Every structure is written in structure tokens, then in C-alpha cells.
Amino acid sequence: MLLLVLSAFVAILYNDQFQPFQAAVGFSLLGYTFTTYMIPRVSTAFIKRGLFGRDMSKIGKPICPETIGVIPAICYMFLMILFIPFMYVRYYYHGDGSSLSEPASLFPNGKLSSFLSGMLCLQSMILLGLMDDLFDIRWRHKFFLPAIAAIPLLVIYYVDFGVTSVLIPSFLKRCLNVTSNSFDLGVFYYFYMAAVAIFCPNSVNILAGINGLEVGQTVVIAVLLILNDLCYMLMGDLGSPAYSVHLYSSCMLIPFLGISLGLLKFNWFPARVFVGDTWCYFSGMVFAVVGISGHFAKTLLLFFVPQILNFIYSSPQLFHLVPCPRHRLPHFDAKDGLMHNSWTEYDRDHPIKKVMVPIFSAFEKIRLIKLVRNSNGTIIKSSNMTLINLVIIWFGPKREDHLCALIMALQFLTGLFMLILRHTVAPMLFGFDNSWNMLERRWN
């Protein structure tokens, strides 16, 4: 730990040019150290305050402190406040370190506003997550709140960047016989970004229920996004607009990765802490913030493929076409110590809706669901429609940590595949690389 703290201070303080990337690595190490130091020390206090949950997948369902995600979240907010000088003071200096004669006119007020609006948005999400952990707010009440939290971000996007067009692939251009490279979505692009702000936090929260997965998925997404940033930074010119936004994005994500790894250490099987909805909302919003203020809100969703699939697959239960139990996490069987898929049961009072019967039967044929019928052939049970249960149906019952590792690996592989597509096939399809061109056009 001492070595980590020392390295963090070297990276942060031995940095007379205020290099943000180097400082971000230092803050990441500091975040990891602080999180791993604090969590075991505050866990008992959380339990005493009644902030605990039962680990449903262990023998005897022991209690575990919950809402611990608030520790890394608050740590992140403080780290990012300390980070401000490293992100912006360098605009006051020439390359040789001497200060500029007219620094105020060159100071990037737009960039600082974008950063501060992101921080405001994250603070709102931490508050929402905490209220949810404390009072278990209903879905219909909390669903749209992230979009409201994102308003400052969208306003800054409008004022500072304002690009709302999407590119048309070359082959479609020829088919439609249009000359323009892009199609302007106008105000709908703002609705899309608000939807991203709603989707990211909620999608992390519903891909949950096994030790390590809530944090594990955010670690994988953060790594993929940092890889995406590095692609731009290594290929782009130093000081180009694309370089600048991806430097900004990586500087937000590297400290985030540090605190997430610190939390994962305690949430990994057998979990010593639960992260709570505070973490799910906060971490999901970190991604929405970097995606929106880094101007890659479309690319962002390429790294959310498992979350998107989980949402689509879950929709019959989320929209109450079939009953949705309070918990859909897989079922732990104490006899073999493995996680099996969990079930939704239908009875005389809650029969399965007629419209769902043919859909479920078709799903059963392609192994998308497991059904149990009574002697009359009536469906009396169906497996809960979550990606975790589906992975169990496809790959068989698994130990909790193996299941989590498998889902994280699937997330990483799909994300990596998307990343490669994004940087190889997409530029070919569109004739040029979207983000580079949009940025160059807007700022040059």
C-alpha cells in the first residue's frame, strides 16, 4: 500500500507541466488505495445503520453491508476536484513552461463548464442512488430522473459542440441517391443523449445479482473505453480536437478504473460488501457523462451490448407482460453449491398471458427460455428473463464466481469485437472516420 501511495504521489506531484494523463494514473492509484483502505473500516458502521442486505447465494444467507459503492463514488468526486488543476492549468503555459501573456483569453471555459456539468450530473446520481438504497424508490418514480440530471450536460453540448448529425454509410448514400454525408437528427439527437443517460445507469442495475457483477461489468466497460481513447490518442495528432476529447475521456475513466478495482476487491466472490444502487447509478452515469461530453454517445453503446441484450430480453418482465418478481437473480442450490436459473411461477390467480404462450414456446425451441408445464400442457413456470439466467441455460449451472467471470469475459470479447469494427469496418463503410471529421469541421 505504501508503494502505491508513493507511486501515486510521484505521478501527481512530479509533474511540473501539469500533464493530465500522468496525473490521472496517479489519481487512479490514489483512488484504489483510498477505497481499499476505507471499505473494511466503514463496513461495520454501515451494518449498524441498517445498511445491509442478505447474500441470497450463500448457505444461511449471511448479511453483508450494502450501499458501499458510495465510498468509491465520493472518493471519485474528490479526486476529480483535485484533478481540475491538471486538466486546465496547462492552458496557462507555453510548451516550455513559461506562462502565457494573455492566459484568460485562451482559457477553455467551455471545456471546464463541460467538466463541471458532468460533476453536477454525477452528484445528482449519487443522491438518487442513495435515496434508492435507503427507501427503495419505485421504478416509475426514478426512471426519468437521470435524464433530468443530464440537462446541464446537454445544454453545454448544445452551446459548445452542437453536432446532431449522424453519418450515412456510402452504400446507403448511393441507394438513396443523396450527396450529403450526414443526416441531421436535430432535437432528436438530444432525446437520444437523454435516453443514453437513462439507459446506462439502469442497465448496470438490472444486470446484477451475483457477487462481483455490478462492479465487474463497469471495470470491463471502463477498460474498453480507455482502449478506445488510446486508439484515438495514439493515432491522432497531439493537440487535435479528437486527441483533446479522448484525453479528457481517458482522464475521467482512469481514476474511475482505480476506484472500481478497489471496490471489486471486496465485492468479488465471496462478497464482503454489496455495492448498492448508488454504485450502479453512479458508474452508469460516469459512462454517459464521458460519452456525451466526449462526443461519442453513439460509439459508447457499442460497449454496452450485453446490457442492451439484457434489457431487450428482460422487457417482457420489465413491462409486466409476464410477472416480474422483486428478485430475478439466479437460484443458489446448497446441494451442489452452484447457481441455477431462477423461475417465475404462474398459478390460477396469476396465469400466463395467452399472448405470451406462442412466444415462449418459440423461445423454448431456440433455447432462449426454460419452461415447465403441468400434465395438461399448461405452462406453470418459466425461467426469469435475464442475461445471467440465459448464460446458465446455455452453459449449465456454474459456481457464482465462475459465472461472473464468464459474463465479464463475454462483455470484454463483444466489446473488443466492437472496438475493432469501430476502427476498421466503420471508417470503410462511411468513407472516413466519423468523429475525426465532425470534430475537425466543428472546431477548425
State the residues that interact with ligand UD1 by CB under 6 A. Answer: 53-57, 66, 205-206, 208-211, 271, 274, 277, 327-329
With respect to ligand UD1, which residue has the nearer C-beta, 54 or 373? 54
Q: Which does 66 bind (CB under 5 to 8 A by kind): ligand UD1, Mg ion, none?
A: ligand UD1
Q: Nearest approach, Cβ of 56 to Mg ion (angstroms)?
A: 13
Q: Nearest approach, Cβ of 281 to Mg ion (angstroms)?
A: 9
Q: Nearest approach, Cβ of 346 to ligand UD1 (angstroms)?
A: 18
Q: What is the 3-state secondary structure (H, E, C) of the chain?
A: CHHHHHHHHHHHHCCCCCCHHHHHHHHHHHHHHHHHHHHHHHHHHHHHCCCEEECCCCCCCCEEECCCCHHHHHHHHHHHHHHHHHHHHHHHECCCCCECCCHHHHCCHHHHHHHHHHHHHHHHHHHHHHHHHHHCCCHHHHCCHHHHHCHHHHHHHHHHCCCCEEECCHHHHHHHCCCCCEEECCHHHHHHHHHHHHHHHHHHHHCCCCCCHHHHHHHHHHHHHHHHHHHHHHHCCCCCHHHHHHHHHHHHHHHHHHHHHHHHHHHCCCCCCCCHHHHHHHHHHHHHHHHHHCCCHHHHHHHHHHHHHHHHHHHHHHCCCCCCCCCCCCEEECCCCEEECCEEECCCCCCCCCCHHHHHHHHHHCCCCCEEECCCCCEEEEECCCHHHHHHHHHCCECHHHHHHHHHHHHHHHHHHHHHHHHCHHHHHHCCCHHHHHHHHHHC
With respect to ligand UD1, which residue has the nearer C-beta, 204 or 286? 204
Question: Which of these ranges, 67-75, 79-87, 204-212, 225-233, lies near Mg ion under the rule CB under 5 A?
Answer: 204-212
Cβ atoms 129, 279 nearer than 8 A: yes
With respect to ligand UD1, which residue has the nearer C-beta, 66 or 433? 66
Neighbours of 396 (CB within 10 A): 9
With respect to ligand UD1, which residue has the nearer C-beta, 133 or 229? 133
With respect to ligand UD1, which residue has the nearer C-beta, 274 or 363? 274
With respect to ligand UD1, which residue has the nearer C-beta, 11 or 200? 200
How many residues touch Mg ion under the rule CB under 5 A: the total is 2
With respect to ligand UD1, which residue has the nearer C-beta, 52 or 115? 52
With respect to ligand UD1, which residue has the nearer C-beta, 193 or 385? 385
Tell me if 307 contacts Mg ion by CB under 5 A: no
CA–CA distance, 312 with 283 (Å, rounded to integer): 21
**Per-residue cell: 339:** 447457481
Q: Nearest approach, Cβ of 43 to ligand UD1 (angstroms)?
A: 14
Query: Of the candidates 205, 244, 267, 317, which one interacts with Mg ion according to CB under 5 A?
Result: 205
Cα angle, residue 79 at apex, residues 78 and 83 outer, rounded to 5°: 115
Tell me if 267 contacts Mg ion by CB under 5 A: no
Tell me if 217 contacts Mg ion by CB under 5 A: no
Query: Of the candidates 66, 133, 229, 277, which one interacts with Mg ion according to CB under 5 A?
Result: 277
Q: Nearest approach, Cβ of 21 to Mg ion (angstroms)?
A: 33
Q: Nearest approach, Cβ of 210 to ligand UD1 (angstroms)?
A: 5
Q: Which does 202 bind (CB under 5 to 8 A by kind): ligand UD1, Mg ion, none?
A: none
With respect to ligand UD1, which residue has the nearer C-beta, 293 or 307? 307
Q: Which residue has the cell 449519487?
A: 126
Q: Which does 23 bind (CB under 5 to 8 A by kind): ligand UD1, Mg ion, none?
A: none
Do you know the residue count of the chain?
A: 444
Q: Which does 389 bind (CB under 5 to 8 A by kind): Mg ion, ligand UD1, none?
A: none
Q: Which does 209 bind (CB under 5 to 8 A by kind): ligand UD1, Mg ion, none?
A: ligand UD1
Q: Which residue minimizes CB distance to ligand UD1?
A: 53
Q: Nearest approach, Cβ of 341 to Mg ion (angstroms)?
A: 19
Q: Nearest approach, Cβ of 320 to ligand UD1 (angstroms)?
A: 11
Q: Nearest approach, Cβ of 65 to ligand UD1 (angstroms)?
A: 10
Q: Nearest approach, Cβ of 327 to Mg ion (angstroms)?
A: 10
With respect to ligand UD1, which residue has the nearer C-beta, 299 or 317? 317
CA–CA distance, 89 with 107 (Å, rounded to integer): 9
Binding stretches for Mg ion (CB under 5 A): 205, 277
